[in-house]
Amino acid sequence: MSTIKAFLEAAKSLVTLGAGANAAARQQIRDVTGQLADELDRALSLADSYLVGVRFSRDDHELAAYLYDARPKLMGSYHEHHICAGLYQLADKFGQLFDPTRFSVSLDSYREIPQLIEHLKNGERAVIDDLDELIGQFQDLAARLDAAPAGQKDDARAAILASADYFRDKLVHQRKQLKSSRRRIVDTL
């Protein structure tokens, strides 16, 4: 399960669990959940920015290199923009916030919350894992572009651009889901 999917699944439990919490705990749930949604949204936004760059490669060699470099470049961006540090800190906050001794209810009924905490402890790797499909496909497309005979380079390039557009649409959808879940938590609590 991806970190984003774990967040979306945990959002349902956060609403249910938070409804029974006191005002201070509800505010903490809203704050930490909002920060997490912001960090995940920033990660998706950086990935989207990287995808936009696909369109601006000067030639096939530069495009293939750009695609092969997706994983290290995204990891570098996430590190530079402190997404990793943000996720690690949020894992600690979630862990403290949902310590079983804090609530009179058992978190066993809310297994999505500990799963989300585990995902967050993986930091940037968790977000990169969410993008594995994209990165894997881009590396395959780059290999095809490199291997394509001169007469088929345009088709290979068109496939890359179509794939970038497809993944950008997926990222937009995921960002909307994050915002919707965050809004539901804030509005409900």
pLDDT, residue 123, reads: 58
Contacts of 107 (CB under 8 A, 6+ apart): 17, 98, 100, 113, 114
Confidence of residue 164 (pLDDT cuts 50, 70, 90): very high
For residue 187, pLDDT over 50 is answered with yes
pLDDT, residue 77, reads: 81
Confidence of residue 107 (pLDDT cuts 50, 70, 90): low
For residue 85, pLDDT over 50 is answered with yes
Q: Specify the residue for token string 């704050």.
A: 31
For residue 105, pLDDT over 50 is answered with no
Q: What is the dihedral of CA 166, 83, 140, 177, to 10 degrees?
A: -30
**Amino acid identity of 81?**
H
Q: How far is CA 101 from CA 63, 72, 97, 144, 170, in A?
A: 53, 40, 10, 55, 39
For residue 106, pLDDT over 60 is answered with no
Higher pLDDT, 183 or 52: 52
Rounded Cα gap, residues 28 and 128, in angstroms: 27
pLDDT, residue 49, reads: 93
CA angle, 79 then 84 then 87, to 5°: 160
Rounded Cα gap, residues 10 and 17, in angstroms: 10
What percent of the chain clears pLDDT 70, i.e. is strictly above it? Answer: 76
* Own/partner long-range contacts of 170-177 (Cβ < 8 Å, ≥24 apart): 171/44, 171/47, 171/48, 171/51, 172/48, 174/4, 174/44, 175/41, 175/44, 175/45, 177/4, 177/8
Confidence of residue 104 (pLDDT cuts 50, 70, 90): very low
Residues 116-155 pLDDT 10s: 777 666 655 666 777 777 888 889 989 999 999 999 999 9
Q: How far is CA 40 from CA 10, 52, 124, in A?
A: 14, 19, 10
Q: How many residues does the chain have?
A: 189
